[in-house]
Structure 1
Amino acid sequence: MEGDLGATLLGPLWMLLAFVGLGWLAARRLAIDPRPIATLLVYLIAPLTFFRALVLGGPTPAYLFLTAVLFLLASLVALIVHSLARHRFAPEESALLAFSSGTGNTGYFGLPVALVLLPPQGVTLYLFCVLGVTLYEFTVGFYLSARGRFSVAQSLAKIIRLPLVYAFLAALLASGLELDVPDAVMEGMAVFPATYTLLGMMIIGMTLGRVSVRELDLRFIGACVAIRYGLWPLLALVAVLGLQAFLPLSPALALALLLVGVVPMAANVVVVAMELGIAPEKGALAVLITTLAAPLFIPFYLTLLMRLTGIH
């Protein structure tokens, strides 16, 4: 199975790295500034992508409970890491590390893998897990990142301005009132998920195009890798084993939770860092390294965790 998973990951990996390469070329040859693109992603493309996914998913109380659990878990991890990192790293670095610790590349990278490994019902479960992580990114995660440069009041003001939370509430309202979003609107928004992936990965390349050797911070990168490929797989394993001990956990849900725990660092680490101006170069290097390591780590971890949890 490990070899099959490695082959499965090559497609998404090369696609994402090609987007990163396009971003690098755009920064080096065209001198494109990635900051307006980050703003566009945060304030327009991400909310519409999130709204569309939630409406299409048909939220139910059980699905939303799954979203809430992942949101709380991501927030808890980030808060703990923030409390530890602020004594060992500079404010901007500790804020970025805290943000990255609560999230992963569950969408751009994890979704293609989920489509291969999971049945349709399992993919739906995985998507609602992803929604919880995304909601964390643009609430608690964004606040922790903003605290690297701004006061509490300024950071909260920035959270209130974020439209993704309102997109989430609008989708829940439309579902609760059984309002049908016009087909033309949904078809028009179909371009946003691909745009989100393309621009999100290109920003990494654009940022790397401005990186110098002195930006290579091995201590920071090591902490990012340890959290993403050390802490999160362990959390996923404990969560699945714990649920199996008390509930009849379906294999599809168990595998969806394990997949959330083994994906590389999120591209949104760079997007948010760029928007807030908190060490985006260091974030881009860490994201690139964990993405390159994914074809090695993910098959190994998934094979091992599936054996330990008895998933077949």
Structure 2
Amino acid sequence: MSDVDLTQPLWMLLAFVGLGWLCARRLAIDPRPIATLLIYIIAPLTFFRGLTLGGPTLADLGLTTVMFLLASGLCLLVSRLARPFFAPQEAALLAFSSGTGNTGYFGLPIAMVLLPPEGVTQYLFCLLGITLFEFTVGFYISARGQFTVRESLQRIVRLPLIYAFAAALLVNAIDFPVPGAVMEGLDYFKYCYTVLGMMIIGMTLGRVGLREMDVRFITACITARFVLWPLVSLVAVLALQASIGISDQLTLVLLLLGVVPMAANVVVVAMELNIRPEKGAIAVLLTTLAAPLLIPLYLSGLLALVGQA
């Protein structure tokens, strides 16, 4: 791990955040329409393209399912634990953030450095499971912070990512050839997804005042991301080693998923539902700044514990 340079992806991400901050401060750009664009257009098309190209096997879909269930379970657990200590909207945002991480914008470049192509594919399908959690169970829990059950479910039904996932599976199942021009056009959306997803953090921070610095809430978010997730990833790997066995590359995939910073989509979903996006943006930025220092240390220590140092 000592020979892995994480400074380049860090500075790239921070540059996008800084650009978003300038847009909010100098151009007075409202980030809310951009959040809506990410959720309803860019994210569904990005994942439709990735799934169509990937040609998922049953094993790949198994990884997606397991990560979806794991993320959902952590979210529901933290939701129950947080209710007595936080206001409903804050508890909902904390629960959502506990089930996810920056597995795409930050984790994917690291995965491409550390893993062979087969490992990157496994990582992508794990990432898909977490993303599906964000826009289904996670979105529902977040919406329940201020909406009724019926209103929350209605909002989920309107999310196109669910239908993009189903459409991609159908295309692969019937072996339908998507025209090359269409796939080439969809390729542009993955760049929009990364750039706008990080810029929206900066845009939100551009509107933040000192009164939004809630140390208790931020501490809870950081604990869930950098204590709970690494522990869960370690236990999962040890359990798999002791039962059915696990490859070295899948071990690294699972451990990496456990040590990435908080997800930028915490801000995107919070903005879409109007549930304190400023607090989420501060927590996301702090964990992103800490990630280049913590990820090598975490991975080295965890790999040693599972016998792969």
TM-score, scaled relative to structure 2: 0.99
> Could you say which residue in structure 2 is the equivalent of 1:248?
245
* CA deviation vs aligned residue, 1:57-97 (integer Å, no higher than 9, x gap): 11010100000000000000000000111111011100000
Is the Cα contact below 8 Å between 1:255 and 1:311 reproduced in 2? Answer: no
**Residue 271 of structure 1 pairs with residue 265 of structure 2:** no
- AA aligned to 1:126 is Y
Give the Cα–Cα distance (whole angstroms) in 2 for the partners of residues 288 and 96 of structure 1: 15
> Could you say which residue in structure 2 is the equivalent of 1:209?
206
Give the Cα–Cα distance (whole angstroms) in 2 for the partners of residues 241 and 181 of structure 1: 41
> Could you say which residue in structure 1 is the equivalent of 2:121?
124
> Could you say which residue in structure 2 is the equivalent of 1:4?
3
1:70-149 matched pairs, under 5 angstroms = 70-149=67-146
Give how far 1:178 is off: 0.9
> Could you say which residue in structure 2 is the equivalent of 1:191?
188
**Structure 1 unaligned spans of 5+:** none
Give how far 1:311 is off: 2.2
**Residue 310 of structure 1 pairs with residue 307 of structure 2:** yes
**Structure 2 unaligned spans of 5+:** none
Give how far 1:248 is off: 2.6
* CA deviation vs aligned residue, 1:227-257 (integer Å, no higher than 9, x gap): 1000000000000010011123110111001
Give the Cα–Cα distance (whole angstroms) in 1 for the partners of residues 191 and 84 of structure 2: 39
Please point out which of 45, 48, 59 is paired with 1:48.
Answer: 45
The Cα RMSD (Å) is 0.7
Give the Cα–Cα distance (whole angstroms) in 2 for the partners of residues 118 and 125 of structure 1: 10
> Could you say which residue in structure 1 is the equivalent of 2:220?
223
- AA aligned to 2:20 is G
- AA aligned to 2:210 is V
Instruction: Give the paired residue count.
Output: 309
- AA aligned to 1:204 is I
Give how far 1:148 is off: 1.1
Higher normalized helix content (fraction of residues): 1
Give the Cα–Cα distance (whole angstroms) in 2 for the partners of residues 87 and 178 of structure 1: 50
- AA aligned to 2:75 is A
Please point out which of 191, 197, 202 is paired with 1:200.
Answer: 197
**Residue 59 of structure 1 pairs with residue 56 of structure 2:** yes
Give the Cα–Cα distance (whole angstroms) in 2 for the partners of residues 242 and 209 of structure 1: 44
> Could you say which residue in structure 2 is the equivalent of 1:17?
14
Give how far 1:181 is off: 1.1
* CA deviation vs aligned residue, 1:17-68 (integer Å, no higher than 9, x gap): 0000000000000000000000000000000011111111110101000000
**Residue 166 of structure 1 pairs with residue 176 of structure 2:** no
Give the Cα–Cα distance (whole angstroms) in 2 for the partners of residues 239 and 55 of structure 1: 29
> Could you say which residue in structure 1 is the equivalent of 2:23?
26
- AA aligned to 2:277 is P
Three-state SS of the structure 1 residue aligned to 2:308 is: coil
Give the Cα–Cα distance (whole angstroms) in 1 for the partners of residues 45 and 93 of structure 2: 25
Give how far 1:290 is off: 0.2
Three-state SS of the structure 1 residue aligned to 2:6 is: helix
**Runs of at least 4 residues off by over 6 Å:** none
Give the Cα–Cα distance (whole angstroms) in 2 for the partners of residues 32 and 223 of structure 1: 30
Three-state SS of the structure 2 residue aligned to 1:178 is: coil
Give the Cα–Cα distance (whole angstroms) in 2 for the partners of residues 208 and 163 of structure 1: 28
- AA aligned to 2:61 is L
Give the Cα–Cα distance (whole angstroms) in 1 for the partners of residues 3 and 50 of structure 2: 29
TM-score, scaled relative to structure 1: 0.98
Please point out which of 162, 174, 177 is paired with 2:174.
Answer: 177
Give how far 1:119 is off: 0.6
* CA deviation vs aligned residue, 1:200-242 (integer Å, no higher than 9, x gap): 1111000000000000000000000001000000000000010
Give the Cα–Cα distance (whole angstroms) in 1 for the partners of residues 18 and 231 of structure 2: 32
> Could you say which residue in structure 2 is the equivalent of 1:151?
148
